[in-house]
Homo-oligomer: A and B are copies of this chain.
């Protein structure tokens, strides 16, 4: 349990939480395991859980091209962007889903046997509504994460529009 507290304290989502609040978060974490090659979540599916990686490595695959579009690349591998998350720094995924059930924005696959802590939306919201200070601190961190991603996505839109404008000007 003491190890868990140490681990959770170092996750940016739980930044600024005191030991009592971290313990309450620990109490709504359920350890879950997935085997190598298992799909943990599928892009587009609606989910209401977030995960903290405790052991193992996962692959994150995000579609970059609309489905059904026939590109030169028959394998459609070029249509996805891949990245990996390792347990080392206990990364978190699916955290938007503890605010509202929403479509997963990527497919996550276990590259090794994995252990995660799972937090369900309903458990988090119940805890937050009984402990508004805790809820406020976690929401602040989630909102900031969402805003950072929003800035990045907006920059990507501008870059893509620029490239597209240049390509269209050439043709």
Contacts and interface: CB of A to CB of B under 8 A. Distances in A.
Interface in A149-171: 149-151, 153-154, 156-171
Contacts of A161: 64-65, 160
Nearest to A150: B150
Interface stretch (A23-31, A50-58, A112-120, A129-137): A129-137
Number of copies: 2
A11 interface: no
A100 interface: yes
A32 interface: no
A166 to B, nearest CB: 7
Interface of A: 63-66, 69, 71-72, 79, 96, 99-100, 102-103, 105, 128-129, 132-133, 135-136, 139-140, 142-144, 146-147, 149-151, 153-154, 156-171
23 contacts: A63-B158, A64-B161, A65-B161, A65-B162, A66-B158, A69-B162, A69-B166, A71-B166, A96-B147, A100-B144, A103-B151, A136-B136, A136-B139, A139-B139, A139-B140, A142-B143, A146-B146, A149-B150, A153-B154, A153-B156, A160-B161, A160-B164, A164-B164
